[in-house]
Amino acid sequence: MASEKERVRDYMTEHVVSLSPDLTVDEAIERITREGHVGLPVAQGRRLVGFVTPKELLRHLEDRQKPLRSVIAKGTVVAHPEMSLDDAARILFRMGVKELPVVDDQGLMVGVISTTDVIRGQIERVTPSKMEKLRTTLQNLYDVDIDVVERPVSVRGLLPTQKRIYGDELEGRRLELLRGLAEPILVIDKEPQPILVDGHHRVIAALRMDKRNLDAYVLQLDRDIELGLERNARAAGLSSLSDVEILDQGQHPLVEATTRFLANEEPQTRVDDGEDGP
């Protein structure tokens, strides 16, 4: 059985924009264009009838006044709300589509699952593994017990542990935050300053957007000890997020290497100083 967060119902979009089968081809084209979708479900009330894409509608431009019910293929591939996210991803990939209507046992449409939703689900699986690795490392190094809670934290007042970030990566994180795709940051709950371990691009992007809080995995130690992360940060001259250097001239090493490869240039080795990955 899939865990709670791996099911379609946890990631699908519940607000569904659909088309009536009584709309004309011309009206459907206008609606899809206005909504900015790659396709839309066709439904009578909440009962799914089919799914239509611009490509399918283009085949019927000779008679734009035809109703949709006369031009769409009857039935369509769907997902179930209890389906695992992995199974939904496989269907999206195999069918070459970007969205699947989600239909319950009564045949009523309850949402839509998209490739973006699946990506968000995959992203949210990565951070827990990072968190568990960090917790195990700290427990072994310092002989402490560590609890982990997932909660929003204030992005102001965090102690950074990374000296520099990249301007292009910062823009990417800003777009992720706008779309709700950014994974939680990693923070160690410490006095006098909580320590930011992972998520520097996300935090500074949030500050620039005047966003006060971000979701985080917060590690809570059972006793107060000085960590090497703190000593190293202060030795590097870091005491606040304003001390983090933003490199607007250079690209993130992964982006830079890819660009050079595509340009058939010989990539040069560049030291990765531990900034957040893409």
Distance (Å, whole) CA 241 – CA 157: 8
Contacts of 80 (CB under 8 A, 6+ apart): 8, 102, 103, 104, 105
pLDDT band of residue 62 (cuts 50, 70, 90) is confident
Distance (Å, whole) CA 59 – CA 224: 69
Structure token digits, residue 47: 């009962």
Amino acid 126: pLDDT: 57
Mean pLDDT of the chain, nearest integer: 82
pLDDT tens per residue, range 119-175: 767 666 656 778 888 899 999 989 999 999 999 999 999 999 999 888 888 888 888
Q: Which residue has the higher pLDDT, 79 or 2?
A: 79
Q: Does 31 score more than 70 pLDDT? A: yes
Amino acid 125: pLDDT: 63
Average pLDDT over every residue of 182-188 = 89
Q: Please, where in the chain does CATH 3.10.580.10 lie?
A: 4-117
Tell which residue, 256, 103, 96, has the closest CA to residue 169: 256
Q: Does 115 score more than 60 pLDDT? A: yes
Residue type, 71: V
Q: What is the pTM of this model?
A: 0.56
Sequence-ordered alpha helix ranges (H) in the chain: 8-11, 25-35, 54-58, 85-95, 115-142, 167-179, 200-208, 228-235, 253-262
pLDDT band of residue 270 (cuts 50, 70, 90) is very low
Amino acid 252: pLDDT: 54
Q: Does 210 score more than 70 pLDDT? A: yes
Q: Please, where in the chain does CATH 3.90.1530.10 lie?
A: 144-262
Amino acid 40: pLDDT: 85
Amino acid 54: pLDDT: 80
Amino acid 268: pLDDT: 45
Tell which residue, 51, 59, 60, 31, has the closest CA to residue 95: 51
Fold (topology level) of 144-262: 3.90.1530
Tell which residue, 201, 199, 198, has the closest CA to residue 170: 201
Q: Does 269 score more than 60 pLDDT? A: no
Amino acid 71: pLDDT: 83
pLDDT band of residue 6 (cuts 50, 70, 90) is confident
Amino acid 218: pLDDT: 95
Amino acid 50: pLDDT: 87
Distance (Å, whole) CA 188 – CA 197: 7
pLDDT tens per residue, range 211-260: 999 999 999 999 999 899 898 998 889 999 999 999 876 555 555 555 44
Amino acid 277: pLDDT: 40
The CATH H-level (homologous superfamily) assignment of domain 4-117 is CBS-domain (3.10.580.10)
Q: Which residue has the higher pLDDT, 129 or 208?
A: 208
Phi/psi for 214 (5° steps) reads -135, 150
Average pLDDT over every residue of 196-216 = 93
Average pLDDT over every residue of 52-69 = 84
Amino acid 250: pLDDT: 53
Amino acid 123: pLDDT: 61
Amino acid 196: pLDDT: 95
* Phi-psi map region of 210: left, alpha, beta (phi>0 left; psi -120 to 50 alpha): left
